[in-house]
Amino acid sequence: MTHKIEKKEIRKTIHQRIRRKLRGSEARPRLAVFRSVAHIYAQVIDDAAGRTLVSASSVDKSGKDVLSGPGGNVAAAKAIGKLVAERAREKGITKVVFDRGGYQYHGRVKALADAARAAGLEF
C-alpha cells in the first residue's frame, strides 16, 4: 500500500527545515509570509521574545483599503508587502530575515518580498 503525501504536509516539512536555520531577533526580526487561496498575510516577528511586532494582511481593514481587487493575487501581495514595510519602518525596523513559509519564492511570495524591499526593508 502506498502512502500519498499531500502538498500541505510537504510545505510544512519544508517550512520546519527552513525554521531550523532561521531565527528572528530583536535586532533583525523575521518577516513571515503565509498565503491562502484567497488572501496573503505578512508578520514581522521577534522569535526571542515570542512577539509579533508588525502585521499586515489582505483581510484586515487597513489592508483592504489599499487593495483594489481580491486579496489572493500578485497585486494584493505587492500592496501588503509595501504596507508591512511601512509599518515596520514606523517602528524603527529596517533589517529583517525573510521566511517564505515553505512556499516557493515565486509569484505572490516574490511580489510581497520585492515590494517590501522597494519600500525600505533590507533582507
Map out the domains of the chain with their CATH numbers: 7-118 (3.30.420.100)
- Can you tell me the distance from the alpha carbon of 46 to that of 54, in angstroms, rounded to the nearest whole number? 10
- pLDDT per position as a tens digit, 8-29: 999 999 999 999 999 999 999 9
Whether 115 shows a pLDDT value over 80: the answer reads: yes
- pLDDT per position as a tens digit, 58-74: 999 888 888 878 888 99
- pLDDT per position as a tens digit, 42-59: 999 999 999 999 999 999
Are the C-beta atoms of 67 and 61 separated by less than 8 Å? Answer: no
Q: Which long-range contacts (CB under 8 A, 24 or more apart) does 74-78 make?
A: 74/107, 74/108, 74/111, 76/39, 76/40, 76/108, 77/35, 77/40, 77/107, 77/108, 77/109, 77/111, 77/112, 77/115, 78/111, 78/112, 78/114, 78/115
**pLDDT at residue 1 in the model:** 60
pTM above 0.85, yes or no: yes
Distance between alpha carbon 74 and the CA centroid of its chain, in Å? 13
As a whole number, the mean pLDDT across the chain is 94
**Whole-number percent of the chain with pLDDT over 90:** 85
DSSP reduced 3-state for 103: coil
| Eight-class DSSP state of 40 | E
Whether 87 shows a pLDDT value over 80: the answer reads: yes
Compute the CA torsion angle 47, 48, 50, 54 (nearest 10 deg).
-60
